[in-house]
Amino acid sequence: MTNDIRPDIRTLSREEIRQGLAQHDDKKFRVRQIYEWLWMNACISFDEMTNIPSPTREFLKTNFTFYTAIAEAEQKSKDGTIKVGFRLYDRSLIEGVLIPSEDRYTACISSQVGCILGCKFCATGNGGFTRNLTVGEIFDQVVYLSKLAGYIRKPSDVNLNQLSVIRHSLSNIVFMGMGEPFLNYNQVKKSIEKITSGESLGMSPQRITVSSIGIPKMIRTMADDNPKYLFAISLHAANDEKRNQIIPFNLNHPLSEIISALKYYHLKTKKRITIEYILFAGFNDSLADAHELALFCRNFPVKINLIEYNPVKETDFIGSDPSVTRAFVNFLEKRNLVVNVRKSRGKDIDAACGQLTTNLLKSN
């Protein structure tokens, strides 16, 4: 832990920085310059702010700090997936994953250190909760994975600190790493504002997906914000009895509440909902399960992502057989549902959510 009481400068608004600086440096353009260093150039130290006068930089160092996420460990899979462990200012660990495919580079990022929801199939859920991430810690993951993607795309001539590399290397970002994004909604929202702002990374919100286990109250809050980014619900079972067994949160917030919140979301945003459904062998992969999923999907326009399970040591779940997956897909497609099958990536590394961090913590 740290006893540093200086505020993280990246959690402050322009006005708050202006007020903090006012006694020392009241140049009108100073806050704009600082903001450009923070969000346009993605800098994580005051020494990098070379056009800020040295006394002002010293003042900033004394009065503010950076809560950074610094890459500490990397694992590369045979299939190209790279998992990165990030160390935070308080020594906590989180993880992000870069998933290259033929035509895209997807970054999967974390929103919390650990997770309180304890889903039974998830390594993060087994490790408990520490704290929420700040906007800067979320932003750092995106910047690092973007540089990594830039390097893979053009290893010979890429200058990783070039704004164009940071801005244009990622095709998609998914909030599907450690943590439940809706339990850290404000910082997640702020990070998306930064990632998509023309004064920062300028990425299209249509390429960002927030994935949640489905917290009804927060689905409504998000809908009221009329987000431009996409939303996915991690369903994994379309009846309460089974969902209760794998997602303890469902015990107090059954599917009827989620359906009602999702209807509200669709009414407000007119957007299609992505349903994420991990297939667990012998648990939720029968045709009866597919039938229940099809019924659930009648409530609003959806797209279904069936996800191959990447087993974690802490659980007994295993992924479904390909023939079972095919039958499940056929059943849904015959009912005119749009279904994509997402292959598990990084099977030979600790690529399931929370695994690398769990193993890093064990080795420390």
Query: CA-CA distance, 58 to 56, in Å (whole number)?
Result: 5
Which among 230, 236, 332, 335 is positioned nearest to 290, based on CA atoms? 332
Alpha-carbon span 240 to 237, nearest angstrom: 8
Binding residues vs ligand SF4 (CB under 6 A): 115, 117-119, 122, 124-125, 178-180, 213, 353
CB of 119 to ligand SF4, least distance (A): 3
Give the CB-nearest residue to ligand SF4.
125
* Dist CA 242 CA 208 (whole Å): 29
Q: How far is the CB of 242 from ligand SF4 (least distance, A)?
A: 15
Kindly tell me which of 49 and 188 has the beta carbon lying closer to ligand SF4. 188
- What's the closest the beta carbon of residue 181 comes to ligand SF4, in angstroms? 9
Q: Is 214 left (phi over 0), alpha (psi -120 to 50) or beta?
A: left
Q: Residue 71: beta bridge partners?
A: 86
Catalytic: 353? Answer: yes
CA-atom Rg of the chain in angstroms: 21
95 is catalytic: yes
Handedness of CA 99, 105, 111, 113 (dihedral sign): positive
Between 128 and 301, CB nearer to ligand SF4: 128
Output 116 or 160, the one with its CB closest to ligand SF4: 116
Q: How far is the CB of 224 from ligand SF4 (least distance, A)?
A: 22
Q: Which of 43, 95, 122, 180 is catalytic?
A: 95
Other CB atoms closer than 10 Å to residue 104's CB: what's the count?
Answer: 12
By C-beta, is 150 or 354 nearer to ligand SF4? 354
Residues that are catalytic: 95, 353
